[in-house]
């Protein structure tokens, strides 16, 4: 895929889909800014990339803090002179899976702050830089929960529906500016979020797999391949799209 020498930020790249995406970009000869709220996890991803001969650096950031995102973008441009791609992957789930009437204010506020407002901050500031340089590419990590209802998961579902909407709105706004904006919507994928869910409800493992036609969870690497493809020069006529990777679950 044609991403060689591109300068790429991946948020939430200390684990899961983010780490796999950072590694996949590096494999295809991009320079990757590995960003995560947890510095040690980000450093581990960078070390793994460098062991494979790739180029990567760490810039820590909490995407729910505007000043952190400002620093992330400014440091990237200061070090590398440009920002070609940002992958807005950082995300969290609620502490408690509850029906709407019992949903806690803490779970609502924290999930919306990271998954929705954090994506807005990253898009806003990345777009300012991309407009200056006359090109850019944004890939947002949404979810199957951004396309279909998700029981007892209101804040996560709301935030991911918002990411899909923000992707489409911004793509329309910047389509004539040589800036493409797309989203991927993973279904049930092996990740920290899924592990957390199954640790609380082990009985859900068989239930979840029963609704996936392929009868297995997705792999982080499979999502990463789609992200890098959307960010590459191979997809120059694609913008405002949501690519669903769910093993057929949405069928």
Catalytic positions, written as ranges: 156
Phi first, then psi, for residue 248 (nearest 5°) are 95, 5
CA gap 146, 148 in Å, rounded: 6
Give strand pairing partners of 58. 34
Q: Report the SS3 class of residue 212.
A: coil
DSSP 146: G
DSSP 189: B
List of E strands, 198-245: 242-245
Q: 220 vs 3, 26, 101, 207, CA distance in Å?
A: 19, 15, 33, 21
Q: Report the SS3 class of residue 184.
A: strand
* Token output for 64: 């729910």
CA gap 143, 146 in Å, rounded: 5
List of E strands, 97-143: 136-141
CA gap 49, 18 in Å, rounded: 13
């Amino acid at each position: 895929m044609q991403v060689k020498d591109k300068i790429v930020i991946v948020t939430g790249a200390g684990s899961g889909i983010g780490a796999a995406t950072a590694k996949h970009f590096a494999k295809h000869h991009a320079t990757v800014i590995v960003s995560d709220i947890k510095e040690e996890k980000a450093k581990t991803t960078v070390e793994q990339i460098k062991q494979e001969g790739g180029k990567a650096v760490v810039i820590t950031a909490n995407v729910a803090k505007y000043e952190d995102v400002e620093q992330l973008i400014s440091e990237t441009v200061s070090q590398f002179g440009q920002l070609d791609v940002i992958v807005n992957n950082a995300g969290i789930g609620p502490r408690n899976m509850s029906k709407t009437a019992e949903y806690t204010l803490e779970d609502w506020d924290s999930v919306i702050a990271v998954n929705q407002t954090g994506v807005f901050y990253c898009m806003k500031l990345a777009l300012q830089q991309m407009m200056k340089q006359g090109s850019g590419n944004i890939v947002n990590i949404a979810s199957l929960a951004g396309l279909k209802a998700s029981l007892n998961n209101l804040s996560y579902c709301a935030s991911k529906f918002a990411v899909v909407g923000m992707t489409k709105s911004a793509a329309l706004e910047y389509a004539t500016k040589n800036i493409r904006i797309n989203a991927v919507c993973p279904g049930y994928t092996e990740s920290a979020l899924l592990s957390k869910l199954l640790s609380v409800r082990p009985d859900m493992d068989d239930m979840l797999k029963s609704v996936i036609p392929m009868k297995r969870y997705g792999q982080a690497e499979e999502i990463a391949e789609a992200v890098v493809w959307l960010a590459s020069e191979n997809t120059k006529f694609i913008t405002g799209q949501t690519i669903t990777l769910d093993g057929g679950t949405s069928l």
